[in-house]
Amino acid sequence: MRFSLPLSEFLESIGECRVEGDWNGEIVGISTLKESEAGDLSFLGNSRYTQEVAETKASVVLLPNNFKGSPRAGQIYVRVTNPSLVLGQFCGVLERRFWPRPPAGIHPTAVIDRDAVVAETASIGPYCLVSSGARIGHRAVLTSHVSLGAHAKVGDDSRLMTHVSLGDFCEVGDRSLLNPGVVIGADGFGYETVDGVHEKVPQIGRVIIEDDVEIGANTTIDRARFSETRIGSGTKIDNLVQIGHNVRIGRGCLIVAQVGISGSAILEDYVVIGGQSGVVGHITVGKGTRVGGQSGVSKTLPPGSVVQGSPAVELRMFQRISALQRRLPDFFARFQQLEENTRIR
């Protein structure tokens, strides 16, 4: 995406920094060090790309304060504590410019039940459905084709993107973001097998999403069998994640794409789950635990654990096992040789 922004406005938006070099044009794009052209902004967020700084064509380069080197003619270095974070802040400025908050009001194609309560400062977009007893807070945004069930609640400053579904009695707290296709409050997966027939167990609970939660596209969070499924404040959930009924996730957790969490599992605060991992039901993953990608967590983990593998084991053990697995062909060849030597004797 191309744009045009004076250098002075960029520097003002990022706050404290040290500028070195001579260039005062307009920034017209953001790109990687290797792919940048004149007029672009780039950054060094990972030390493995340090050698690319000297070769980049970017006019403005965000660098850590301790970077050693000087800009070329017609180029400036902007030294900051955390280049990646500063770039993120600047992208927030661009986001507000290119995707401003829609004006307050209700689109004429939206369907709002007479018993629903919608704050005057909220924005309800085209073809949204707001059912009986639902409540929408101040400055909340429902973009388009969003469905709110009976007595659902959306907090202040939250944003629900296209085709989000929030089920009956489910709640989203303040300043939360639900990306396109998120489904909150679909039936939990519960059955009792009687005489070979899978009889459905009604799921009559709800889902509570606390404040400052972000949920990625096409993620699903099932309503509880009874009581509630709960996602704690500040937790960030990636795309295509499945969270089962009665799961409880604490504050500040990070759950990466394609994770599956089975019913009644508990994730305490600040747990990190790597992509494509699975967590079985009815266990507890302790506070601050880190689970590597493609792991299978099959038992309760104490706080501060670092695990990987399927089944998940302590990281150092996983690394030892992986190292031994790579040597198995050599071990097998040596074993065959020993067998042959034994037969010859």
Specify if 304 maps to a domain: yes
258, 188: one domain: yes
Q: In terms of C-beta distances under 8 Å and separation of at least 24 residues, what long-range contacts does 332-336 make, across chains too?
A: none
Pairwise CA distance, residues 89 & 103, whole Å: 24
Indicate whether 343 pLDDT > 80. Answer: no
Q: Span 236-245, mean pLDDT?
A: 98
Within 10 Å of residue 65's Cβ, how many Cβ atoms? Answer: 11
C-alpha torsion angle, residues 326, 329, 330, 331 (rounded to 10): 90
- Model pLDDT for residues 101-125, shown as the tens digit of each residue: 899 999 999 999 999 999 999 999 9
301 has which bridge partners? Answer: 285
Q: Span 8-14, mean pLDDT?
A: 92
Question: CB of 117 within 8 A of CB of 99?
Answer: no
Pairwise CA distance, residues 81 & 116, whole Å: 47
Q: Annotated catalytic residue: which of 138, 151, 245, 282?
A: 245
171, 278: one domain: yes
pLDDT value of residue 345: 63
Question: CB of 272 within 8 A of CB of 252?
Answer: no
The residue type at 306: V
Specify if 330 maps to a domain: no
Q: Which two tokens stand for residue 150?
A: 């009976």
Q: Which two tokens stand for residue 58?
A: 């970017």
27, 78: one domain: yes
Pairwise CA distance, residues 176 & 214, whole Å: 6
Specify if 332 maps to a domain: no
196, 312: one domain: yes
- Return the exposure string of 12-45: e unless at least 16 CB atoms fall within 10 Å of the residue's CB, then b: eebeebeeebebeeebebbbebeebeebbbbbbb
Specify if 142 maps to a domain: yes
The SS3 call for residue 116 is coil
Per the listing, tokens 């590597």 go with: 292
Q: Is 198 among the catalytic positions?
A: no
Specify if 341 maps to a domain: no
Q: Span 154-159, mean pLDDT?
A: 98
| Mean pLDDT lowest among 18-27, 92-101, 241-250 | 92-101
In total, how many domains does the chain have? Answer: 2
| Mean pLDDT lowest among 91-95, 302-306, 340-344 | 340-344
Indicate whether 129 pLDDT > 90. Answer: yes
Indicate whether 339 pLDDT > 80. Answer: yes
The mean pLDDT value of the chain amounts to 95
94, 168: one domain: no
What is 223-238 written as a DSSP string? Answer: PPSSSEEEE-TT-EE-
Pairwise CA distance, residues 137 & 82, whole Å: 35
Q: Span 37-52, mean pLDDT?
A: 94
Specify if 295 maps to a domain: yes
C-alpha torsion angle, residues 325, 326, 328, 333 (rounded to 10): 180
- Model pLDDT for residues 221-231, shown as the tens digit of each residue: 999 999 999 99
Indicate whether 291 pLDDT > 70. Answer: yes
What range does the domain containing 80 cover? 5-98
Per the listing, tokens 């096409």 go with: 218
**Of residues 134, 145, 139, 103, the one with CA closest to residue 119:** 139
pLDDT value of residue 344: 66
Residue 234's CATH number: 2.160.10.10
Q: Span 200-205, mean pLDDT?
A: 95
Q: Where are the alpha helices (DSSP H) in 77-197?
A: 83-98
Task: Give the residue from 73, 98, 123 where a domain finishes.
Answer: 98
Specify if 324 maps to a domain: no
Task: Give the residue from 34, 64, 98 where a domain finishes.
Answer: 98
Per the listing, tokens 């993620």 go with: 219
Pairwise CA distance, residues 155 & 210, whole Å: 9
Specify if 144 maps to a domain: yes
pLDDT value of residue 278: 98
